[in-house]
Structure 1
């Protein structure tokens, strides 16, 4: 990660009315050599402008501050405030070049970069000696990633005003950034020279300390690790000097954290990043670095918060690391829907990077599939999705050595998923056979029950028939006995007669 120290200026500080000034440049009048010299000096130092010019500047500044009371300018206010600054310039000429500059800067503040750009370009023609118009054009082109064009405008700003500090710092930052991408000794020496020149005339210049520390840090990473020691010295000295001046630098604390990371001192590095964020809560690089460490310590809540702050920055909004880390933090917080969106965002930012695919696979394999309220069919669905992501990851990662361990892990997970499906298939087959056996046993039991019932029925019927036969037999015996008794009685009666 690297911080681009590119600054914008809107000079609205009320100027002292009591400063000495040369005559005002009247419309249609020529200036003496002394007046011309004074006008040029006032162009670069508005404190030397005429009393009337400074009074009009103060009025415009007061109007601007009043319009900004609610925190922003409406479209109508943008038009009005820019026009008021231009009126000051047109009335007082080049000694109020800062007013011309502010007229353009208002449009930049209002978000109309194209309109601001046109005004800055026109200003370089009308007031070619004013350094800040070149500086802000450089910033505009830098933000458009037109680095070479931006560099040329920063150089021009320094050429027209060798005493300037802010454009010189920006020139050094641009040279340093180019050096960090393609290390060239000339860029390193030029950047170092510009920074040292700023510090020679302004020993409390925060941006210069930040640029020099970063320059040495980059050289230490890329070329000569002894420069990391120099970077640490600059950071330490910068923090001390700024503290004595009542100032602080989030960039220097962020660099301190990066230097500690070089020594693998993660705990102290995290403290440094936290200090940077304490100084500037919206410091993009420090928030990103802090977030990356936070998820290592499984502090997912603070990690998510810091990643989101980092993502507001134009550079980190296009940085795949931001959204990979955010997805990991959200996954750790069980915000699975948000995590999936973050991983897909990372995938869109760099379609060649296979890591989003791996993380999506982990999301489905380890997290979505293991939720408490999910059934087997849901698990199978998530496993299939995970397998698909892992296969795509392996294919995209190819033979890249830096992904070798993750590729091996992904292949192992694919095998685990396939083994799970084989196990589930075997279990399903066993369940099917168990059901068949259960059904067979049920049928056999029903048949046996039916057989027994039929046997019982037959036995009952046989007993009933036997009982009926015995009854009939008894009835017949009784009848015969009765008949026999009747015959005996008749015989006895016969004997008595």
Structure 2
């Protein structure tokens, strides 16, 4: 039967952040060559004529203006208008050959949080310059973030068709969305298409970091779910990706995170932890790696580390509804004897998913094994606290129901309820015995006082008789 900790913190798995685009989506203003090292314009000369020297000069000036404005702090208000306007003016002046300038105007709008304006810019670019793949890509990312994955996938695929050689970001995002379909529905077709898309990216650009990351991840997903041989492929991709990136002075936190997951598959928790920590060394806020560090730390009872990295991971808005993270945080806080904080974490997890019985189990354990056993808790308070625990266990049974998934936990909870009932019964018996003992003690005390009073009275009577006898003798 599993322990409370094992019930509270589930398997160490990577978090699938399916509500947003992967890092392959280009949303950075280029510094002269175009996003991600791509050309300033696609090389389809018929659709987009070669930019003139004057256009390139104006574009470089707009980039310089953007960087100067960015140095003044985050883009907002008038700074947004000036930065986006600088690129827009280049596009207005030179048209299709400077589609990249209008694209960057859209990127600036995204950086300013003006997603609607960015969306309009990308849509206009697609209509005006159908072969400009980056507009399809970033527009697809916007739809992905909205949760409209079918529309996003359509746009990414159109971006690939627009320029099959340079649309690497769109290919990566096609693979990312298909990976979600594979994980969610075990869709073999989605896996094959994603794999082919990523292999195409790497055949064109053998240094593409995102392609290595996505390919390693989808192989890991398949290996963990169905075919263990894919774990070997995932490890090969990770090893090659890390080597290629190292040769170019780059590092990938995602590849280290996947390396850690692969090590966990071999039950090598120590080296897995090292790999996850490498990921957070490169990217301190890496959500998946921090979560995985936390889960291992809980297994090692390093609750302080677990609490620290979980709180960091939960700062990511995408993790706000992560029940696993809140449960694990509760376990860490319980281990640190921060009982009020632990209760808050479990309660939040319950609010996030009322159909998950684990928060109720952990609330019961918290009250039964920890809060009620503190030195400051007397017997009367103990009974109240374990009664609260029983209430949580009763709710657990109601939620878990007859679901075979929780059959071991149901048996454990029933044992705990029986223990609580016995403790309450014993406490009642003990209270009755103490009351009877107190009554008998009071009766004994009363009898003792009565006897003392009788003896004192006899002594007084004797003294009176002696005095009387002495008076008669005179």
Normalized against structure 1, the TM-score is what?
0.85
Residue aligning to 2:30: 12
Normalized against structure 2, the TM-score is what?
0.89
The structural deviation recorded for 1:116 is 2.2
The structural deviation recorded for 1:358 is 0.9
Contact kept, 8 Å, 1:39 with 1:95, in 2: the verdict is no
The structural deviation recorded for 1:176 is 1.6
Q: Aligned with 1:141: secondary structure?
A: helix
Residue aligning to 2:89: 87
Describe how 1:396-415 pairs up with structure 2 within 5 A. 396-415=399-418
Residue aligning to 1:168: 171
Pairing 1:468–2:471 present: yes
**What are the Cα deviations for residues 355-381 of structure 1, in whole angstroms up to 9, with x where unaligned?**
111111111122222223333333233
**What are the Cα deviations for residues 357-406 of structure 1, in whole angstroms up to 9, with x where unaligned?**
11111111222222233333332332122111111112211222332222
Pairing 1:431–2:449 present: no
The structural deviation recorded for 1:160 is 1.2
Q: Mind listing any 5+ residue stretches in structure 2 that lack a counterpart?
A: 1-13, 35-42
Rounded Cα–Cα distance in structure 1 between residues aligned with 2:302 and 2:288: 18
The structural deviation recorded for 1:330 is 1.5
Residue aligning to 1:109: 111
Q: 1:358 aligns with which of 345, 349, 361?
A: 361
Shifted more, 420-429 versus 2-11: the winner is: 2-11
Describe how 1:417-456 pairs up with structure 2 within 5 A. 417-456=420-459
Q: Aligned with 1:318: secondary structure?
A: coil
Rounded Cα–Cα distance in structure 2 between residues aligned with 1:110 and 1:318: 26
Rounded Cα–Cα distance in structure 2 between residues aligned with 1:421 and 1:438: 25
Residue aligning to 1:73: 75
The structural deviation recorded for 1:221 is 2.1
Residue aligning to 1:308: 311
Rounded Cα–Cα distance in structure 1 between residues aligned with 2:249 and 2:17: 23
Residue aligning to 1:24: none
Shifted more, 337-346 versus 294-303: the winner is: 337-346
Rounded Cα–Cα distance in structure 2 between residues aligned with 1:283 and 1:91: 42
Residue aligning to 1:254: 257
Residue aligning to 1:149: 151
Q: Return closer, same or farther for 1:53/1:264 CA change in 2, 3 Å cut-off.
A: same
Rounded Cα–Cα distance in structure 1 between residues aligned with 2:435 and 2:146: 66
The structural deviation recorded for 1:3 is 5.6
The structural deviation recorded for 1:429 is 1.0
RMSD, aligned CA:
2.1
The structural deviation recorded for 1:467 is 1.4
Q: 2:341 aligns with which of 332, 335, 338?
A: 338
Residue aligning to 2:139: 137
Residue aligning to 2:244: 241
Rounded Cα–Cα distance in structure 2 between residues aligned with 1:434 and 1:37: 99
Q: 1:198 aligns with which of 201, 226, 246?
A: 201
Q: 2:120 aligns with which of 118, 132, 156?
A: 118
Q: Return closer, same or farther for 1:39/1:349 CA change in 2, 3 Å cut-off.
A: farther
Structure number with larger C-alpha Rg: 1
Rounded Cα–Cα distance in structure 1 between residues aligned with 2:55 and 2:46: 11
Report 1 or 2 for greater relative contact order, CA contacts < 8 Å, sequence distance ≥ 6.
2
Pairing 1:382–2:385 present: yes
The structural deviation recorded for 1:198 is 0.7
Describe how 1:202-221 pairs up with structure 2 within 5 A. 202-221=205-224
Residue aligning to 1:317: 320
**What are the Cα deviations for residues 49-93 of structure 1, in whole angstroms up to 9, with x where unaligned?**
222222222222222222222541232322332222211211111
Q: Aligned with 2:179: secondary structure?
A: helix
The structural deviation recorded for 1:413 is 1.6
Contact kept, 8 Å, 2:307 with 2:333, in 1: the verdict is yes
Rounded Cα–Cα distance in structure 2 between residues aligned with 1:371 and 1:112: 53
Residue aligning to 2:100: 98
Rounded Cα–Cα distance in structure 2 between residues aligned with 1:56 and 1:372: 75
The structural deviation recorded for 1:204 is 0.9
Rounded Cα–Cα distance in structure 1 between residues aligned with 2:466 and 2:76: 111
Q: Return closer, same or farther for 1:203/1:37 CA change in 2, 3 Å cut-off.
A: closer
The total of aligned residue pairs comes to 448
Contact kept, 8 Å, 2:257 with 2:279, in 1: the verdict is yes
Q: Return closer, same or farther for 1:37/1:460 CA change in 2, 3 Å cut-off.
A: closer
Contact kept, 8 Å, 2:17 with 2:318, in 1: the verdict is no
**What are the Cα deviations for residues 310-354 of structure 1, in whole angstroms up to 9, with x where unaligned?**
223343322211111111112112222222222122112222111
Q: Mind listing any 5+ residue stretches in structure 1 that lack a counterpart?
A: 17-35, 43-47, 472-497
